[in-house]
Amino acid sequence: MNNGHTRVATHITINERLVFEEGSAGRRGFNLPELDVPTKDVSSLIDSALLRDTIPGMPELSEVDVIRHFTRLSTWNYHIDLGLYPLGSCTMKYNPRINEKMARLEGFALAHPFMPAELIQGALEVQKTLEACLAEISGMDAVSLQPAAGAHGELTALLMIRAYHDSKGRPRKKVLIPDSAHGTNPASVTISGYTVENIPSNKRGTVDLEHLRKVVDQDVAAIMITNPNTLGVFESEIAEIAEVMHSHGALVYMDGANLNAMMGITRPGDFGIDVLHINLHKTFTTPHGGGGPGSGPIAMKKILEPFVPYPVVSKKPDGTYAFDYDRPQSIGKVKAYSGQFGMHVRALCYILANGPEGLKEVSEVAVLNANYIRARLKEAYALPYDAPSLHEVVFSDRNQARKEVRVGDIGKRLMDYGFHPPTVSFPLIVPGAIMIEPTETESKQEIDAFIEAMLAIAREAEENPDLVKGAPHSTRISRIDEAAAARRPVLRWKPE
Amino acid sequence: MRYIPSSNTDRQEMLAAIGVDSIEQLFSGIPERLRLRRLLDIPRALSEPELLEYFRSRAARNASDFVSFAGAGVYRHHIPIIIDALVSRSEFFTAYTPYQAEISQGTLQAIFEFQTYITQLTGMDVSNASLYDGSTAVAEAVLMAQRVTGKKRFLIAKTVHPEYRAVIQTYVKNLGIEVELIDYTEDGRLDLAKLNSAIRNDVAAVVVQSPNFFGSIENTNDVAAIAQKHEALSIVNVCEAVSLGILKPPAADIVCGEGQALGVPESFGGPHVGFLATRERYLRQMPGRLIGMGKDFSGRRAFVMTLTTREQHIRREKATSNICTNQSLCALMATIYLSTVGPKGLREICEHNILKTDYAVNQIKSRTRHRVLFPAPRFNEFVVEFVGDYRLREKRLIQNKVVPGVPLGRFYPELGNALLVCITETARKEHIDALVRGLE
């Protein structure tokens, strides 16, 4: 069938020192136009005590040096254009090139946030349109695009929840968080001035409704729930959970990390959620950039709208757009200006490329792909929870651990097969968790190759566990002594 | 859909392997009454040519062909072409956070280089891998100073970017932290006498910005000395990072700010790149990611995310911050920018900013009736107070495709008829002359 085809072959990459170790004095990568105003000694304008002479250690390079340096570095990265990137909860999907092109249009890339309204109508329309799309997709009434990332959206929503309770007379004290939640949830709670109360999952891996009924009282401000949860399982009692919370005057926050499972299928606003954040860099294909920039808009019900960060984009009766700063109950600003606008352009471009049928198909195929992987790997890898999976599936390393092969080893060995590892050791409720999210942008061939690699590794774990435990064997570096790196941290280059 | 590779045949084979007849069955875990049984009410799908037309027409409604003197935290410098060429490599922009170091060395080394550049520019010992932007960086610096000192009172210069101050207020308001503003003097800088009378030993930190929101260069030595005398930290925020190419590194315990000026497009306010650097002894209280240099088990130099026990995915509610990302790609832009311009190029850029700003100030002083406020030394911004109604002139200038600056009234009611003007190296003399003519 494969005519001897194997997925990987070795390939030369070029070593490169730090940029500070390259170059030589006198090289230039940049020239300014000639100065066209009268020249002066700068120290006649600024006291020389305020001026520096040199920047020790800063390298001098030509344009070619810079291109070579960063091009060489780039070849050391795995990336989504190279192949399947099965990081659960991260939704690593193809980033359409048209998004990039549109965000770079001069009218967007060079727009200044403090321009008079008549000169930024295009940007404001993009934001307003994206808000409307996100509101419809999530079933909510209003959207704020200001938060810079998912965790920032969480914080923003919690501050609004607090402002809401304050407006009712009392901020309340605590926020409930299931033990399967992302670590950002409790960390955001701390900054919002609430305390965290963890609640255990039940045998299905979902929120224990009976336990919840016992712990909700008038001191609970909200619950932070992830749906589908971090096991990829839909919280089938979500409407009842919301009812319990609402009956005590508490609100329901949803971590929207897993929205890719439900577009056009079901909507948070229709199952009782009051506010959620949406990761544009997951579901809506804005690139991950090697760790940011992300974008974490929040969508909310009407009751929270008065507290939304200012400014708000408003459409005037004459059809023009403007920033509205007059928001007396607003929590304030969570970021200067109005959010990661470049990401807003990309996300809107993606939504418009798909339309209603396309977005539904996205979720359908994402769920199909995850379930296909589940079906084909469930013999080789243990499935700790057998509730139906949506867009991701969580296995554990229980079978392999018998030979002392752990999830981290399995992930590292996948590199030798030409794949990025899945999310490992998360969620915390599954010991040795292997969390796989293929997304919809993978072909059956690519998914099959991944499955074959996982099956091969399961066999290796039985027959030659040391091979897996010593992986990766074919990357440009082997495993790193992380403990040593943390013991004596070297966080910058210094001249010898 | 063109972004979904699998064909109907593929899907049928996959369904058969799963043992179900239809994709619909895979959603059986969602109660029927919660299902959306209609299509989403969003615009119909657009083809690629339609998308191009849609966005081009919207972009054309923004004013990109104007000469703009708007700064106020977002700066138009020349961006070397190679930055976009390099960050458009999908190896960089389509990679995830470098948790798996063996196949992420490119991103990791680049961020390590960013951290080094930030320490070189700021004179600090350590820098993190970047934060969302300058406004959240200064808010994180405030929270960090509270952790370091255990104190909860902050003195913040009124000349710190007003939107940054707003973000600080939002971050601290539920944490029992108290913020007091310190006024500015007639020369445009923090009023040291007022700082002296407001400061007591219960102050966690003094926050100033340099160059400040009016473009004036603060004397951070004096501020730091006062802070130190009261066992308070000194936080210096830098919105205009290019200025660090010629100005002495600030005297401070934490230097934070915005790196947009270093090769990142204005992009209507984001994405930009926040930074935060500090002294070695405060390292473990720093927020955000850190990349460290280490070795692999064969002894080769390697880079890795380190000191993660400060972070949310390990420490949860006890983490130093809730941040779960950085602004890697924008940090990469800044790293490429600094590598391209080099120390000499950066200094020349700074000199052009200073000299062109000086030229504009002198032209406005000598050829118009308006007052240039605040005589303290400037980098590339200054404040003009108008004789007569500013708005009428703005209208006329805009008709001539010139945006003269950012009106200050919204931020400083006492400066209701004043404008903040920014002159970078990209402003040609004839642009400045056109601005001055429009103000005459």
Residues B376-387 pLDDT 10s: 999 999 999 999
Cβ burial, residue A278 (10 Å; 0-12/13-18/19+): buried
Q: How far is B140 from chain A (nearest CA, A)?
A: 11
**Which residue segment(s) compose the domain that A32 sits in?**
1-76
Number of domains forming the structure of chain A: 3
Query: Residue A495 has what pLDDT?
Result: 85
End-of-domain residue from the set B270, B302, B336: B336
Q: Is residue A173 part of a domain?
A: yes
Q: Which of B51, B117, B255, B268 to mutate to test the interface with A (most CBs of A within 10 A)?
A: B268
A30 with B342: Cβ contact below 8 A: yes
End-of-domain residue from the set A299, A324, A352: A352
- ipTM of predicted assembly, 2 dp: 0.98
**CA angle, A452 as apex, B23 and A390 as ends, to 5°?**
25
Number of domains forming the structure of chain B: 2
Q: Which residues of B94-127 are buried (b: 16+ CB within 10 A; e: fewer)?
A: bbbbbbbbbbbbbbbbbbbbbbbbbbbbbbbbbb
End-of-domain residue from the set B336, B358, B387: B336
Closest in B266, B267, B304 to A480, CB measured: B304
Q: Are B354 and B275 in a shared domain? A: no
Q: Does B161 touch chain A (CB under 8 A)?
A: yes
Q: Are B231 and B368 in a shared domain? A: no
Query: Residue B65 has what pLDDT?
Result: 84
Q: Which two tokens stand for residue B412?
A: 């400083």
Query: Residue A73 has what pLDDT?
Result: 98
CATH assignment at residue B157: 3.40.640.10
Rounded-to-integer distance, Cα A334 and Cα B135, Å:
8
- Enter the pTM of the model: 0.98
Q: Which residues of chain A register pLDDT less than 50?
A: 1
Q: How far is CA B150 from the centre of its chain?
A: 27
Q: Are B75 and B85 in a shared domain? A: no
Q: Which two tokens stand for residue A348?
A: 């809107």
Q: Are B306 and B403 in a shared domain? A: no
Q: How far is CA A372 from the centre of its chain?
A: 24
Note whether A276 and A227 are within 8 A (CB).
no
The DSSP output letter for A449 is H
Of B372, B386, B381, B363, the C-alpha closest to B422 is B381
Rounded to the nearest 5°, which phi and psi values hold at A289? 65, 20
Q: Are B135 and B199 in a shared domain? A: yes
Which residues are B216's β-sheet partners?
A: B378
Which residues are A308's β-sheet partners?
A: none
Q: Which residues of chain B register pLDDT less than 70?
A: none
CATH assignment at residue A319: 3.40.640.10
Rounded-to-integer distance, Cα B17 and Cα A390, Å:
16
A407-416 helix and A444-463 helix, angle to the nearest 10 degrees: 120
Residue with tokens 């830098």: B238
Q: Are A308 and A369 in a shared domain? A: no
Query: Residue A1 has what pLDDT?
Result: 47
Rounded-to-integer distance, Cα B270 and Cα B274, Å:
11
**Which residue segment(s) compose the domain that B98 sits in?**
81-336
Q: Is residue B420 part of a domain?
A: yes
Q: Is residue A218 part of a domain?
A: yes
End-of-domain residue from the set A326, A352, A378: A352
Chain A residues with CB inside 8 Å of B269's CB?
Answer: 113, 336-339, 341
Q: How far is A174 from chain B (nearest CA, A)?
A: 12
Rounded-to-integer distance, Cα A229 and Cα A204, Å:
11
The string of DSSP codes covering B392-421 is: HHHHHHHHTTEE--EESTTT-GGGTTEEEE
Rounded-to-integer distance, Cα B332 and Cα B329, Å:
5
Of B66, B63, B68, the C-alpha closest to A120 is B63
Q: Are A237 and A369 in a shared domain? A: no
The string of DSSP codes covering A19-35 is: GGGS--TT--S--PPPP
Q: Are A300 and A404 in a shared domain? A: no
Rounded-to-integer distance, Cα A319 and Cα B272, Å:
30
Q: Is residue B207 part of a domain?
A: yes
CATH assignment at residue A455: 3.90.1150.10
Q: Which of B47, B94, B338 to mutate to test the interface with A (most CBs of A within 10 A)?
A: B94
The string of DSSP codes covering B278-302 is: E-GGGGGG--S--EEEEEBTTS-EE
Q: Are A37 and A142 in a shared domain? A: no
Rounded-to-integer distance, Cα A91 and Cα A104, Å:
24
Q: Which of residues 175-204 of A touch B (CB under 8 A)?
A: 182-184, 186-196
Q: Is residue B409 part of a domain?
A: yes
Nearest-by-CA chain A residue for B391: A116
Closest in A42, A294, A353 to B351, CB measured: A42
End-of-domain residue from the set B291, B306, B336: B336
Q: Are A45 and A105 in a shared domain? A: no
Q: Is residue A209 part of a domain?
A: yes
Q: Does B44 touch chain A (CB under 8 A)?
A: yes
Give per-residue pLDDT as tens, B208-221: 999 999 999 999 99
Query: Residue A414 has what pLDDT?
Result: 98
Q: Are A71 and A114 in a shared domain? A: no
Q: Is residue A305 part of a domain?
A: yes
A491 with B306: Cβ contact below 8 A: yes
Q: Are A343 and A384 in a shared domain? A: no
Q: Is residue A236 part of a domain?
A: yes
Q: Are A254 and A378 in a shared domain? A: no
Q: Which of residues 361-420 of A touch B (CB under 8 A)?
A: 361-362, 364-365, 367-369, 371-372, 374-376, 387-388, 390, 411-412, 415, 420
Q: Are A122 and A185 in a shared domain? A: yes
Q: Which of residues 94-123 of B touch A (CB under 8 A)?
A: 94-98, 100-107, 109-113, 115-117, 119-121
Q: Does A483 touch chain B (CB under 8 A)?
A: no
Q: Is residue B24 part of a domain?
A: no
Following CA atoms B217, B222, B227, B228 in sequence, which dihedral angle do they give, to the nearest 10 degrees? 130
End-of-domain residue from the set A352, A377, A408: A352
Q: Are A435 and A461 in a shared domain? A: yes
Query: Residue B312 has what pLDDT?
Result: 78
Q: Does B440 touch chain A (CB under 8 A)?
A: no
What are the start-end ranges of the H helices in B152-244? 162-172, 192-198, 220-229
Cβ neighbors of B6 (< 8 A, separation 6 or more) are A365, A368, A369, A440, A442, A443, A444, B14
Q: Are B108 and B210 in a shared domain? A: yes
Q: Are A149 and A205 in a shared domain? A: yes
Note whether B207 and B159 are within 8 A (CB).
no
Q: Is residue B324 part of a domain?
A: yes
Q: Are B190 and B206 in a shared domain? A: yes
Q: Are A188 and A64 in a shared domain? A: no
Q: Does B165 touch chain A (CB under 8 A)?
A: no
B36 with A102: Cβ contact below 8 A: no
